[in-house]
């Protein structure tokens, strides 16, 4: 039986792997026959800004060609539903033109509905 799975990223992408790891996790849920949504909230909305080199880990890793969060999102945009909390985008001064294409803004009420309707909610 198919399940609705929300993966919510609340941590910024700088020096952390939460957002980077959440995207393939969402894609794996789709591959398993589930409906996956990846939602960026709080500091996690920094992950949806185009053209960033966020990296993670120590300096040695930063100097290597590590795939970006944007590359992972773009690679999976057709199979995973990506959302970002509108009020957190606004609080951080991120303009619509800065947002990676295909990510939909949602309100706090819409986020609440998604959480209540899901079978599984994972928060990073």
Say yes or no to pLDDT of 56 above 60.
Answer: no
SS3 state at 10: coil
Say how far apart CA 15 and CA 35 lie, in whole Å.
29
CATH class of the domain at 4-123: alpha beta
Supply the mean pLDDT for the chain: 90
How confident is the model over 58-88, as pLDDT tens digits?
555 556 666 678 989 999 999 999 999 999 9
**DSSP code for 67:** P
pLDDT given at position 20: 85
**Model pTM greater than 0.85?**
yes
Burial tier of 87 (Cβ tally within 10 Å: 0-12, 13-18, 19+):
middle
Please report the DSSP string for 99-124 in residue order: BPTTPEEE-HHHHHHHHHH-SEEEE-
Say yes or no to pLDDT of 48 above 60.
Answer: yes
Q: What is the largest CA-CA distance in the chain?
A: 44
Name the token pair of 20.
Answer: 């980077």
Report which of residues 16 and 8 the model is more confident about.
8
């Amino acid at each position: 039986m198919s399940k609705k799975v929300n993966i919510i990223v609340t941590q910024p992408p700088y020096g952390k792997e939460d957002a980077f790891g959440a995207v393939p996790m969402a894609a794996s849920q789709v591959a398993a026959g589930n409906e996956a949504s990846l939602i960026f909230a709080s500091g996690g909305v920094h992950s949806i800004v185009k053209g960033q080199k966020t990296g993670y880990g120590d300096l040695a890793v930063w100097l290597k060609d590590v795939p970006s969060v944007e590359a992972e999102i773009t690679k999976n945009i057709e199979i995973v539903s990506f959302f970002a909390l509108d009020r957190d985008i606004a609080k951080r001064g991120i303009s619509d033109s800065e947002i990676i294409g295909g990510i939909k803004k949602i309100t706090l009420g819409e986020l609440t509905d998604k959480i209540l309707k899901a079978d599984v909610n994972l928060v990073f």
